[in-house]
Amino acid sequence: MGLILDYRKLELKFKFDAGTSRGVLKTKTSWILKIFEKSDSKTFGFGEVSTIERLSFDYSVDFESELEELKTQLAKLAKPSNKAEVFQLVKQLVKAGRPAIRFGLETALLDLLHGGKFKIFDNSFYQGDNGIPINGLIWMGDQEFMKNQIDEKLSHGCKCLKLKIGALDFEVEYELLKYIRSRYSADELILRVDANGGFTTQEVLKKLERLDHFELHSIEQPIMPKQPEAMGLICEKSAVPVALDEELIGVFSTRDKIELVDDIKPNFLVLKPSLLGGFVATDEWIAIAEARGIGWWITSALESNVGLNAICQYTAQHYYQGHQGLGTGQLFENNIHSPLVIQGEEIVYNKTLSWDFITLGFD
């Protein structure tokens, strides 16, 4: 009896300066978890504790210290025998205010439960039978950089683009959207924009009125979170459908989730399991949204392929509509080699490829 937890810090390096309205990202930190039974060191599960500077609720946590404490607790426990026991154990061991650790531990234990084959959920995605349609993500930068990204994504067959906006001159961003719509109508190409809270409350409705000319699918988080009255007014007045993203981070109780959604009344929720607290927490957001006729999609949050794999398999468990935000695995120079591949507008699990255990950093 006893579970052994090991972990390694992974510093992921971006292939380019990834610009958002919160600033430019050059690297991001994750911790890769490895868990196995004391009686069987050859079967192990992997998970990822992933955080983003100035975004994750638990970014400032001393993860090394908390993972050491978790290591001690797990050494006294037996492997869960089913998914329900996995989720109950994680809830018992990790408080809600540690969403990144909950996500990583859920993933590692589910992988271990299924035999340590990077199988988090057994479904058609993991079996390689079905891919998941994704949006092509366009990062902020100068006009030429963004235009080159747009042309590249479109040439690869993307039917849905998502542009990061809100940090450059608005007229530059406006012209980029105009450039796209001059080539592709709304019937040919879905356009999403993500402001990451970059607009002020004084200017946001005027800007949304102008953006409506481009027949946008949605705008994510037009203003900074924790302004429920202002966000509710935007959702009521905006001609562009509004999706909540950062607004959901740090909201853990069922009561608070319901109150937030009922007060703001958004059109969509953008769900990031590693920022929300794992799969159980994301399930709850989905149930709340669907009970109110609110749309949703699932997005990765700059995890390595370990976390991205788990999120893709989780997404495939649900009846989702439209394009998901699961294309971030190609952003890093030193990502972990995996069977995850982008083909056209889909992410697929190519069973002919293998995982590179060496780059996971364990002996």
Residues serving a catalytic function are 164, 272
* Dist. CA 104–CA 111, nearest whole Å: 11
* Dist. CA 80–CA 130, nearest whole Å: 29
**What sign does the CA torsion over 292, 294, 298, 302 have?**
negative
CA distances from 327 to 2, 86, 324 (A): 37, 28, 8
**What sign does the CA torsion over 173, 269, 21, 345 have?**
negative
Nearest-CA neighbor of 166 among 208, 129, 124, 137?
208
Nearest-CA neighbor of 55 among 108, 11, 99, 106?
99
Specify the length of the chain in residues: 363
* Dist. CA 169–CA 132, nearest whole Å: 34
Go through 216-251 and write b for each residue having 16 or more CB atoms within 10 A of its CB, e for each that does not: bbbbbbbbbbeeeebbbebbeebebebbbbbbbbbb
Nearest-CA neighbor of 269 among 252, 293, 253, 250?
293
Count CB neighbours of 263 within 10 A. 12
Contacts of 74 (CB under 8 A, 6+ apart): 2, 3, 4, 5, 35, 93
Helix axes 83-93, 279-291, angle to 10 degrees: 100
Contacts of 48 (CB under 8 A, 6+ apart): 30, 31, 32, 33, 103, 104, 107, 274, 303, 304, 306, 307, 310
| Three-class DSSP category at 106 | helix
